[in-house]
Amino acid sequence: MHVLFEYELPKAMAICCLAIMVFRAWAQQLPDAQENGMRVPAWLKIDGKTAGWDTLFGAFNKKTELFYSIANNKENIYLAVRCSELSVINKIIAGGITAIHVFKDGPGGMDFQVLMSATDFRGKYVPVK
């Protein structure tokens, strides 16, 4: 058992370090602000979780450490936000997210919907309504 622990722990630590480096490198490739409009893919399940948005985030704000995307379909506009910093998550939960300006296309225009999933420091989902 001691020999197994001796070899498995460094291997696990190396994998964790590599995963963190890959995550940081991917985040650096995204712009601070989303530059282009985005349509919500038909396969994406709108369920209040950001699991399906992993490859769809349009921006990474380095100041707030937030991944986000603004996307739409024929009926709705969606804001998907992901953050792993506990202090930022607490601010979002305490203050919420407010749409400052929403454009509507005529009287039957598009509604604004907030899609958000936050995780606490243990990685469990925190429901945000």
Number of domains in the chain: 2
Domain region containing 23: 1-30
In this predicted structure, what is the pLDDT of residue 1? 47
Residues 16 and 75 both lie in one domain: no
Residues 36 and 26 both lie in one domain: no
DSSP string, 59-97: EEETTTTEEEEEEE-SSEEEEEEEE--HHHHHHHHHH--
Q: What is the pLDDT along the chain (129 residues), one digit of tens a residue?
A: 455 455 565 676 667 655 655 555 554 567 777 777 788 888 888 887 777 777 778 888 887 778 888 888 888 878 888 887 888 888 777 766 655 545 555 556 655 544 444 444 455 555 444
Residues 63 and 9 both lie in one domain: no
Residues 70 and 26 both lie in one domain: no
In this predicted structure, what is the pLDDT of residue 118? 47
Residues 83 and 40 both lie in one domain: yes
